A and B are shown apart, each in its own frame.
Chain A
Amino acid sequence: MARITMREAISQALMEEMDRDPSVFIMGEEVGVWGGTYAVTKGFYDKYGPERVKDTPIAENAIVGGAIGAAMVGQRPIAELMTINFAFSAMDYIVNQAPKLHYMFGGQIKVPMVIRAVGGGGRQLGATHSQTPDVIFAHFPGLKVVSPGTPEDAKGLLKSAIRSDDPIFFIENATMYQVRGEVPEGEYTTPIGVSKVQRSGNDVTIVTYAKGLELSMKAADQLAKEGIQAEIVDLRTLRPLDMGPVLESFKKTNRAVIVEEGWKSYGVGAEITSRIYEEAFDYIDAPILRVAQKEVPLPYNRTLEQSALPQVPDIVAAVKEVMK
């Protein structure tokens, strides 16, 4: 096992897949000469050249639409959106074109592409550059939405996404790039659409993913000191959603808290809660609570911004509430 950062894990996944399959190429803003605005593709331009690491103009429709066209005729493009906030500029291609083409044409056309986008708040970038709109994309059948919380999962899931024949939206988090974690040596992939128990416990189930995982693990450490053992189920994929481990955990603990960085209304927590209610009604011993971003656009001021984002004490408080 090697201990590497999330950034290194994603970078390795990209390189390994580009080495393995010549039809894989990257296109996006500043991915080439600049080396990527989050340095994920640093060194790629020199190694693979401008044919395989393509700097595009600032034109998201051309980036995502172009990737769709290239995928349709047999290549495996990875389109990069500099931030997930710019996904809205290519909305039609992400949710109305890519997920529909295989279905509408009776299975005759495939779109084997990955869209990588970086999301999340907490860096004082202002309201339009700080969003976590993951659920919007998870709403559409035909698209797969993946968002890892550990370097091991990031590398394994990205490799699976690149090899998949379906269009996949791969969401990364800007404040997690330097998070370190153990990653297996050698070749491995992680299956898409499989949730994972990242920490075992008998008292309460915390369901989360991506940034929420980082926060929940810290909260669980604190709770353990107070004698509460939290079990953390990491979704890893938002669509298709794997409720198996979530329900198994809930049937054991009977209490749940859902942690997400996005806003609470109409969010991931709303979906999980609803499914627990439908499929494990008799196991509910307390209302299911959601820890999420406060319902405001994110402000610039550092303190205000942090007060709007979900934090470890919020998770600890929510767990204690459901334990009552």
Chain B
Amino acid sequence: MAEIINMPKLGFDMAEGVLIEWAKQEGETVEIGDVLADIETDKVTVEIESTVAGTILRLLVNQGDVVPVTAPIVIIGEPGEEVDLPVPDDSESSVEADVDTPIIESAPEPPRQTQDMPAPVISAGTSHQQEKVKASPLAKKVARDKNVDLREIVGTGPGGRIVRRDVEAAVASGQESASLSAPAFSAISREDKIVPLTKLRQAIARRLVEVNQEVPQFFVTHEYKMEAVMEMRAQINSILPEGEKLSVNDFIVKAVALALREFPNLNASLEGDKVIQHGTINVGNAVAVEGGLLTVVSKNADQKTLRQISMEVKNMATQVRAGKIKPEDIEGSTFSISNLGMFDVEHFIAIINPPEAAILAVGSALEVPVVEDGEIKVGWRMKATISVDHRISDGAEAAQFMQALARYLEKPLLLVV
């Protein structure tokens, strides 16, 4: 059985050896222990001995060849035996290549001449883009987040470096081109557009200015756990037909209405030095219409079912948007809700709808990481802020109302029993 002998690894860092001289020729017999060849490593020349007995069938490398460790160098066996050499991983040209025919590589193409390219014109308008702005990493991040151009800020850090306080100062003062060193910027000029206020807008404007001037408002924010509402809504909606499904706001309206039963002072209006705590709970829902905002009113909302509230608000909103407004639909609210949840608003503060005591601004219900029993889980949270007339009520009461609301929203079965 013929054996292939490989270039041995003679040292821990030997990668290749040179076959200096063959001691045996093809056809000669060899015993175990006979010297086969002299091998040169970078440290020393050694004789390698044969580990098999037999006849040298084929010398696979020539004297003077550099051979990698473990590559085959000689085949020893019985005369006439044929052996298949293992095919090496790299190209086959290593052992069998004819030394006389060199491999011609295609010459790489010469690089393109650049003479015919016009020299780029560097205009004053583009040069400022190459200037390096010196700013701390934090300042750069804040500038990115607040959409402020660092080139227009003067730095007060060492060496004129822009630091965070500089960016924040720029943001606070609404600064634009206050920088003395800001380079010239050529813009395209556009015409101003003049839009007259609609009657509705004018009315809203008048009332809100009044509110701002006369009503001392304070605000209380509460974050609500909405998992139960989301689940109940999903369950209910699975059995309701299309077009009649409940929205999150419907739950909020009912919850607010029920909570107001416990807080009559927030379902109220001020007249002179008297507070009128209204007998009915009429929840107004802010609806955006062309040119402004209207509240459609759900009367006796505390006594209506979720479905009734839902259908009612839907219908009124459709009517109002179509311009068909019935006075009784938009009058008589005792407490208003403004919901911007559908616009991915996390949190906002609404202005009281006079003469109401309060208005609730509702944000989006979001899936966020929450901590329960010391572990991080995924939960639904929604922020709502109540704006309250401080002449009628105060912080503690408002906060307690918000807590009561939480009770209803976190245990929504209370809304249907």
Contacts and interface: CB of A to CB of B under 8 A. Distances in A.
A286 B136 contact: yes
Given A281-B137, A284-B136, A284-B138, A254 B157 contact: no
A285 B158 contact: no
A324 B138 contact: no
A285 B141 CA distance: 10
Nearest to B157: A324
Interface centre among A283, A285, A321 (most CB of B within 10 A): A285
A283 B163 CA distance: 11
A282 interface: yes
Contacts of A286: 136, 157-158, 163
A283 B138 contact: yes
Nearest to B165: A285
B350 to A, nearest CB: 33
Nearest to A284: B137
Contacts, number: 27
Contacts of B138: 254, 282-285
Nearest to B164: A285
Interface string B132-151: 00001111110000000000
Q: Tell me whether chain A's interface is mostly helix, strand or loop, or mixed.
A: loop
Interface in A254-305: 254, 281-286
Interface in B115-165: 136-141, 157-158, 163-164
Contacts of A321: 158
Nearest to A321: B158
Contacts of A285: 136-139, 157, 163-164
Contacts of B158: 286, 321, 324
A282 B140 CA distance: 8
B165 to A, nearest CB: 8
Interface string A140-177: 00000000000000000000000000000000000000
B162 to A, nearest CB: 10
Contacts of B157: 285-286, 324
Nearest to A281: B137
Contacts of B136: 284-286
Nearest to A277: B137
A282 B164 contact: no
A281 B164 CA distance: 14
A286 B164 CA distance: 10
B141 A282 contact: yes
A282 B163 contact: no
Contacts of B139: 285
Contacts of A324: 157-158
B298 to A, nearest CB: 46
Interface centre among B136, B140, B157, B158 (most CB of A within 10 A): B136
A228 to B, nearest CB: 15
A283 B139 CA distance: 8
B362 to A, nearest CB: 32
Interface of A: 254, 281-286, 321, 324
Given A282-B138, A284-B138, A324-B158, 14 more contacts: A254-B164, A281-B137, A282-B140, A282-B141, A284-B136, A284-B137, A285-B138, A285-B139, A285-B163, A285-B164, A286-B136, A286-B157, A286-B158, A321-B158
18 contacts: A254-B164, A282-B137, A282-B140, A282-B141, A283-B137, A283-B138, A284-B136, A284-B137, A285-B136, A285-B138, A285-B139, A285-B163, A285-B164, A286-B158, A286-B163, A321-B158, A324-B157, A324-B158
Q: Which 8 pairs between the two chains have the least Cβ-Cβ distance?
A: A282-B141, A285-B138, A284-B137, A285-B136, A285-B164, A324-B158, A281-B137, A285-B163
